[in-house]
């Protein structure tokens, strides 16, 4: 019998999870790091997270996240004012998340005291701000004006090189008769960019109502690699969207709850996919009572896939509007699969009073992706690529096909099934492509596996396989494996 990891021996090879192929350093990916298992209250788990990589957390605070964030504001004082707005809504939705942030700050306190921002920004606010990163580098302009806060016009050049690559997330949920053995899978590729290291961690709360959750992220920013799974057989995936179209006004963005705190709460307390969807759309009953709202006020546009064994949902949303796509809505056979990329498809939306309206969510994303000159032109094509890959293999799909044939696909398909085969340059690298295995910037440079992180989750048995790189790099190699069912059983016996 394999002994579970403890707080003090998470790096000891003899205590690895069963059948796991573990990085860091595996196959030459120095940015991938295994932080092991954390247990206890949400605060205690945060302390363990902060302690285990405190030096890198300081580096992220001082040299990456806060310098970029603060460029959007005319002063640190203004930034502190708007941070309080975000904290109010986040704390109302998930006090557990706020406890985790507090624990992370305390766990890394010895290093955070060395920060160039220490004394101006509290350690808690440093960590909280890092986890708001994408919301506050482009803060809601209308709300800023209402508060009398100016918006800096400073160039956010540090993010420009990765802007296109990071909008190359995609995935597919496939189930039932579409698969060889009637199983249900979620396959997901997250394009997080090479600036951020890739961490994995297993969280086992002492709250009996909370789930065990496998999370990914980076230093001080757990949950920010775009996906997580729990021991109830649910998968949570984030896909950036709403990046064009209607980009102004409080419908678009506001001082609400950022994507990752909402999914944090959904992953730990969602027993079903539908219940988890409710958390990210209308919030919890406590949240609605405290804030006097009928729906969750979110920070910015985004898209999340929440999938289970027998149900799958793709939630498209902005700050005050949302819509939900289901398998079959785009003609998927028998509702047995659903593909998703970085663009909205829904032709309706619910407003902040939870009333269904004719305002289409496509108004908040690029309505004609084929006419774009940049790499976002292939966003819809990546969704259609998954649709055609499932159509062409309907009834034959199993784990091996998903891992070693479908996940590494470089070809892409248009809506009508036209196949586009990528070219390679003289060096043997793909001309920049954003198919499902997305080489958005062409050659990988110092990152031999690119900047993609890929997961495959079998909902029926809660088995997880994942790699910290392009899946094509692992075409002849095993993927890292974790049994969420085993973790749940181990926890129940304690």
User: What is the secondary structure of 226-276 as a DSSP string?
Assistant: SEEEETTS-EEEEE----SSS-SSTTT--SSB-HHHHHHHHHHH-SSHHHH
What pLDDT, on a 0 to 100 scale, did the predictor assign at position 9? 33
Q: What is the pLDDT of residue 490?
A: 57
Residue 99 has pLDDT above 60, yes or no: yes
For residue 136, pLDDT beyond 90: no
- Report how far residue 49's alpha carbon sits from residue 168's, in angstroms, rounded to the nearest whole number: 28
- 337-340 and 312-317 beta bridge pairing: unpaired
Q: Which residue has the higher pLDDT, 451 or 342?
A: 342
**pTM for the structure as a whole:** 0.88
Element (H, E) at 338: strand 337-340
pLDDT exceeds 80 at position 423: no
CA distance 153 to 178: 50
Enumerate the β-bridge partners of residue 419: 413
Average pLDDT value for the chain: 82
pLDDT digits (tens, 9 = 90+) for 198-243: 788 999 999 999 999 999 888 888 887 678 999 999 999 998 775 5
* Of residues 279 and 422, more confidently modeled: 279
Per the rule left: phi > 0, alpha: psi between -120 and 50, beta: everything else, 290 is alpha
Quickly count: other Cβ atoms within 10 Å of residue 187's Cβ.
27
pLDDT (average), residues 426-452:
62
Q: Which tokens belong to 475? A: 């075409």
Among 158-167, 300-309, 422-431, where is mean pLDDT lowest?
158-167
pLDDT at 242: 57
Burial class (CB in 10 A: 0-12, 13-18, 19+), 163: middle
What pLDDT is recorded for position 88? 97
- Please indicate whether residue 214 or residue 363 has the higher confidence score (pLDDT): 214
Residue 428 pLDDT: 65
Q: Which residues contact 119 (CB under 8 A, 6 or more apart)?
A: none
Q: Grade residue 410 by pLDDT with cuts at 50, 70 and 90.
A: confident
Judge residue 340's burial from the number of C-beta atoms within 10 Å of its C-beta, 0-12 exposed, 13-18 middle, 19 or more buried: buried
14-23, 64-73, 393-402, 433-442, range with greatest mean pLDDT: 393-402
Across 156-172, average pLDDT: 56
Q: Which residue has the higher pLDDT, 144 or 377?
A: 144
Is the model more confident about 238 or about 440? 238
Average pLDDT over residues 453-475: 88
Per DSSP, 182 falls in state S
Length of the chain: 494
State whether residue 87 is helix, strand or coil.
Answer: helix
Mean pLDDT across 307-324: 96
How far apart (Å, rounded) are the C-alpha atoms in residues 96 and 297?
A: 18
Cα 153 → chain centroid: 28
User: Which pLDDT does position 165 carry in this prediction?
Assistant: 43
**Confidence band, pLDDT 50/70/90 cuts, at residue 492:** low
Q: What's the pLDDT at 199?
A: 82
CA distances from 240 to 141, 172, 270, 277, 463 (A): 19, 15, 22, 17, 26
State mean pLDDT over 290-296: 98
Confidence of residue 35 (pLDDT cuts 50, 70, 90): confident
Report which listed range, 141-155, 211-225, 429-443, is most confident: 211-225
Q: What is the pLDDT of residue 475?
A: 84
């Amino acid at each position: 019998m394999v002994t579970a990891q403890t707080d003090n021996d998470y790096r000891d090879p003899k205590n690895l999870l069963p059948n796991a192929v573990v990085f860091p350093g595996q196959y030459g990916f120095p940015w991938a790091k295994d932080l092991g298992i954390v247990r206890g209250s949400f605060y205690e788990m945060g302390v363990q997270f902060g302690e285990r990589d405190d030096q890198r957390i300081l580096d992220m605070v001082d040299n990456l996240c806060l310098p970029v964030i603060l460029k959007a504001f005319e002063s640190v004082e203004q930034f502190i004012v708007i941070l309080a707005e975000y904290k109010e809504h986040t704390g109302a939705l998930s006090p557990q998340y706020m406890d985790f942030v507090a624990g992370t700050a305390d766990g890394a306190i010895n290093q955070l005291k060395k920060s160039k921002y220490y004394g101006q920004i509290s350690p808690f606010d440093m960590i909280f701000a890092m986890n708001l990163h994408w919301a506050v580098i482009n803060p809601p302009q209308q709300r800023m004006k209402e508060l009398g806060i100016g918006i800096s016009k400073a160039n956010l050049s540090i993010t420009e090189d990765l802007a296109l690559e990071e909008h190359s997330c995609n995935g597919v949920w496939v189930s039932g008769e579409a698969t060889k053995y009637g199983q249900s899978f979620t396959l997901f590729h997250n394009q997080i960019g090479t600036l951020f290291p890739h961490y994995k961690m297993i969280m086992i709360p002492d709250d009996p109502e909370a789930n065990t959750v496998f999370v990914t992220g980076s230093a001080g920013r757990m949950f920010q690699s775009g996906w997580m799974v729990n021991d109830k057989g649910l998968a949570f995936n984030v896909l950036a969207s709403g990046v064009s179209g209607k980009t102004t006004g409080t419908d678009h963005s506001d001082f609400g709850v950022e994507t990752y705190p909402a999914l944090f709460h959904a992953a730990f307390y969602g027993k079903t996919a539908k219940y988890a969807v409710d958390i990210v759309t209308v919030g919890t009953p406590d949240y609605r009572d405290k804030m006097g709202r009928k729906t969750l006020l979110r920070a910015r546009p985004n898209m999340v896939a929440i999938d289970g064994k027998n149900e799958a949902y793709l939630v498209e949303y902005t700050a005050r509007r949302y819509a939900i796509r289901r398998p079959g809505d785009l003609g998927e056979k028998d509702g047995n699969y659903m593909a998703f990329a970085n663009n909205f498809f829904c032709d309706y939306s619910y407003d902040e009073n939870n009333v269904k309206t004719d305002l289409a969510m496509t108004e908040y994303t690029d309505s004609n992706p084929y006419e774009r000159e940049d790499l976002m032109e292939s966003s819809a094509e990546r969704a259609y690529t998954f649709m055609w890959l499932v159509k062409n293999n309907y009834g034959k799909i199993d784990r091996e096909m998903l891992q070693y044939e479908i996940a590494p696909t470089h070809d892409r398909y248009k809506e009508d099934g036209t196949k586009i085969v990528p070219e390679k340059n003289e060096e043997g690298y793909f001309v920049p492509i954003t198919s499902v295995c997305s080489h958005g910037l062409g050659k990988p440079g110092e990152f031999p596996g690119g900047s993609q992180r890929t997961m495959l989750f079998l909902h029926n048995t809660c088995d997880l396989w994942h790699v910290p790189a392009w899946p094509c790099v692992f075409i002849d190699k095993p993927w890292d494996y974790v049994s969420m069912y085993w973790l749940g059983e181990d926890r129940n016996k304690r």
